[in-house]
Amino acid sequence: MAEAAISTTTADLPAVRAIDARDMDADRFQREVASLYEPTLLRGLVANWPAVVAGLQPPQTIQAYLGRFDSGMETKAFFAPAEIAGRFSYRPAMDGFNFNVVDTRLAFLLQTLITVAEKNMRQAIYMGSTSVPQLLPGFDRENRMPPLEGKDAEPRIWIGNDTNVSAHFDEADNIACVVRGRRRFTFFPPEQVSNLYVGPLERTVAGRPTSLVDLNAPDFDAYPRFRDALAAARVADMEPGDGLFIPSLWWHAVQASGPLNILVNYWWNDAPADAGSPLHALAHGLLTISHLPAEKREAWRALIEHYVFRSNGDPAAHIPPAARGLLGESSPAQRRMLKDFLLQVLRQL
């Protein structure tokens, strides 16, 4: 099975910032990478992983290496016919998806990928985010991630062949590492959301709102503002052993190439675990604000800018700390107070 060509749409886009990341530790990562809030290609970050070394060999080598850790747990994978050209998305009428989700196990998945390649079949196969400690216990002890020491960042593994995932964002920061094959990430800054033509928020391809635009063949008649998104886009071309820092809320499309492509990633969130998802606030805004007349939406924008985004500084600076209530400094007690307030309000709807 020949490798898919990299998208010509993104061929001439500027590259993201790249640094030599061999021997990177947590302090250097925080100082030189995470604090900048921009996508950064981390060349050679995991080049010394035993998994990467095995991945440079024929596919049976990485198959045997992963087999050493295989727990035998059941997992899920996407299977799709050749007609989708590896692009997992909605059906044309958006009444479902263009792939099937099947229960499988790692050993069967790997052998299927190898067989598909040997027979030069074009079936698209994709096992998305799967817990490494559950699927491959012990893998993370041999393949470590020093830049994230001290963070709650469980490794997750992705396995497939030539596939394309449309632009989407994650709520958590992310380091993605290529173990086998190549990957091209195309990034769009968060403010490009209006030019990406995002699909439904609640019915998604793989858990996150996703652009409807096919990056390999964009329909500019249907999605004219996507030209503006491309003007702001950047790309990262990854080889085995490379890592990539993906800041939260940066939109990214992912093209994997090669008959057996493997990636391991780490998500982490420095926000308090009991704070909840900002998407909940977005959903509440859709319920309570989006239907209002324009002038009233603007008035609420001013209030939210002031209280939530603190565009004018601390909105409670003039109130004694003990009397700030919902406006108090974030703490477990204050977050509990906010949740109780919201629950009481929602019960009245």
242-276: pLDDT as tens digits: 999 999 999 999 999 999 999 999 999 988 888 88
The one-letter amino acid at 123: Q
Enumerate the H helices of 172-241 as residue ranges: 226-231
pTM of the entire predicted model: 0.91
Domain termination residue (choose one: 268, 288, 309): 268
DSSP bridge pairs for 335 = none
The residue segments making up the domain with residue 108 are 8-268
Q: How far is the C-alpha of 241 from the C-alpha of 24, rounded, in Å?
A: 13
Q: How far is the C-alpha of 137 from the C-alpha of 135, rounded, in Å?
A: 6
Torsion region of 96: left, alpha or beta (phi above 0 gives left; psi -120 to 50 gives alpha)? left
Q: Do 196 and 318 fall within a single domain?
A: no
Q: Is residue 2 part of a domain?
A: no
Q: What is the DSSP string of 277-317?
A: -HHHHHHHHHHHTTTS-HHHHHHHHHHHHHHTS-BTB-TTT
Q: How far, in Å, are 287, 302, 328, 344 from residue 295 at the CA level?
A: 17, 11, 29, 28
Contacts of 244 (CB under 8 A, 6+ apart): 39, 40, 41, 42, 175, 176, 177, 185, 236, 238
Query: Domain tally for the chain?
Result: 2
Model confidence pLDDT, tens digit, residues 272-299:
888 888 888 999 999 999 999 999 999 9
Q: Is residue 83 part of a domain?
A: yes
Q: Do 123 and 219 fall within a single domain?
A: yes
Higher pLDDT, 55 or 8: 55
Q: Is residue 173 part of a domain?
A: yes
Q: CA 329, 335, 336, 338: dihedral to nearest 10 degrees?
A: 90
Q: Do 234 and 293 fall within a single domain?
A: no
Q: Is residue 258 part of a domain?
A: yes
Q: Do 223 and 298 fall within a single domain?
A: no
The residue with tokens 């809030």 is: 37
Domain termination residue (choose one: 216, 233, 268): 268
Question: Could you tell me the pLDDT band of residue 70, with boundaries at 50, 70 and 90?
Answer: very high
Q: Is residue 1 part of a domain?
A: no
Q: Give the count of alpha carbons within 13 A of 93, CB side only.
A: 2
Q: How far is the C-alpha of 334 from the C-alpha of 325, rounded, in Å?
A: 7
Over range 329-336, report the average pLDDT: 90
Q: Do 212 and 341 fall within a single domain?
A: no
Q: Do 165 and 291 fall within a single domain?
A: no
Q: Do 259 and 283 fall within a single domain?
A: no
Q: Is residue 27 part of a domain?
A: yes
DSSP 8-state class, residue 211: B
Q: Do 263 and 317 fall within a single domain?
A: no
Model confidence pLDDT, tens digit, residues 196-235:
999 988 888 877 899 999 999 999 999 999 999 999 999 9
Q: Do 228 and 332 fall within a single domain?
A: no
Q: Do 78 and 157 fall within a single domain?
A: yes
The residue with tokens 């500084």 is: 313
Q: What pLDDT sits at residue 10?
A: 78
Q: Do 92 and 21 fall within a single domain?
A: yes
Domain termination residue (choose one: 240, 268, 296): 268
CATH number at residue 15: 2.60.120.10
DSSP 8-state class, residue 156: E
Q: What is the DSSP string of 66-122?
A: HHTT----EEEEEEE-GGGTTB--B-TTSSSBSSEEEEEEHHHHHHHHHHHHHTT--
Over range 308-317, report the average pLDDT: 94
Q: Is residue 3 part of a domain?
A: no
Q: Do 135 and 235 fall within a single domain?
A: yes
Q: Is residue 205 part of a domain?
A: yes
Q: What pLDDT sits at residue 1?
A: 43
